[in-house]
Structure 1
């Protein structure tokens, strides 16, 4: 029963997001969820409930429900579609992800961002936005307050991409297919990729989704790599018998891989895929309302200006790298 108040408010926020999306289809549901959560977090009347009655439900939404959504994300992935992209495109996508990850991590360290923010920002901007942040947070055991700012920044920059990238389609001299590949290689959330790429037609949209899901595929090895590194450091820096060891690969990441293999090798009915897609959107939406509510705009402005600059710089970095990779591989 103690979970119900927070879950009910998160569900109400999700309902508002769906209504806004219905009125303004260009705004993805998940983007609006962050904004709704942000508004909730600023309401004076809710400050005490946010730290009291609403806290257990919001904590469940921002962690466990987010992780279940990541498992369902695996059902979007078919290895057949990814292999069909060809070796040059696959190598290009890998290069964009690796360079964006380490570039953002370096910028975050140089900007002296607190705690695990550099790592979470790097994962979010390099791979797949909030889902990557949630997966990485499980390895780093980050607090909800640490997750909230990176989640807000990747959502903000993904929303900017919806407005900015289509305007650059013509000036950059990209064909429709090149634009689709660029959107898939540079935009963070799958829904945002769809919003950007559909402006260039159905063929561009199909290619954009394939490229984007190739980036999503790299979520598991990246999280596993960080998990191995963290565990080795924990053993080195403390008594192995008493040191808490971070998980090498969280169980929900294994679930994500299992779902991907099911989609690849088994005939999953279309109705099941549609239901899973809806469930994933609902779970992510509840999580983003909860995460958005933990942001305090006043403290964000005072303390997170550097995080905003790093986020914007990372957004420009991934867009530039993706544009270069697409230009080289499709010339």
Structure 2
């Protein structure tokens, strides 16, 4: 909560209209792509939506929020969505910094990538800290936009 409290509108606006558009696209494509992939895999809509929002927004908190709005058929759908979010997000902590190094990304770009590709706040900050300590503030701003 305190990380979110530190986010100022000026921090978000300092990213520029282009970066804000990128964030909107990442979230929109993430939700849409996950919903389509889930449908192709035969996953029911009350299971697809929490997973899509958890992967594309803010992890387990988004799963809980969606569960509060829609009626899931079974509790295990929510538990599975949370488990998927935690497992994949945790896997991203070493993957993003390693991939950034392999691609030759600088600290700034690696911080952007961590903030744009990982959904849980703590996982974003853990990945960004392994790349660049100063990248924490940039990744933190992206995760809250």
Length-normalised TM-score, structure 1 = 0.41
Q: Does 1:93 align with 2:18?
A: no
Segments of structure 1 that go 5 or more residues without pairing to the other structure are 1-68, 215-331
Name the residue aligned to 2:96.
165
Q: CA deviation at 1:76?
A: 5.0
Name the residue aligned to 1:78.
8
Contact 1:81 1:210 in 2 (8 A): yes
Q: Does 1:109 align with 2:13?
A: no
Q: 1:150 to 1:191 in 2, by over 3 A?
A: same
Q: Does 1:188 align with 2:119?
A: yes
Q: Structure 2: how far apart are the matches of 1:128 and 1:73? A: 13
Contact 1:115 1:146 in 2 (8 A): no
Q: Structure 2: how far apart are the matches of 1:76 and 1:139? A: 28
Name the residue aligned to 1:118.
48
**Over aligned residues, Cα RMSD in angstroms?**
1.8
SS at match of 1:170: helix
Contact 1:76 1:213 in 2 (8 A): no
Which structure has more relative contact order (CA 8 Å, sep 6+)? It is 1
Q: Does 1:135 align with 2:135?
A: no
Length-normalised TM-score, structure 2 = 0.91
Total equivalences in the alignment: 144
Within the candidate set 156, 170, 174, 2:105 is matched to 174
Name the residue aligned to 2:129.
198
Q: 1:179 to 1:73 in 2, by over 3 A?
A: closer
Name the residue aligned to 1:39.
none
Q: 1:146 to 1:77 in 2, by over 3 A?
A: farther
Q: Structure 1: how far apart are the matches of 2:45 and 2:25? A: 27
Q: CA deviation at 1:75?
A: 3.1
Runs of 4+ residues over 6 Å off in structure 1: none
Q: CA deviation at 1:83?
A: 1.2
Q: CA deviation at 1:74?
A: 5.3
Name the residue aligned to 1:314.
none
Q: 1:179 to 1:91 in 2, by over 3 A?
A: same
Contact 1:127 1:188 in 2 (8 A): yes
Q: What does residue range 1-331 of structure 1 map to in structure 2 within 5 Å?
A: 75=5, 77-142=7-72, 143-214=74-145
SS at match of 1:113: coil
Q: Structure 2: how far apart are the matches of 1:196 and 1:171? A: 15
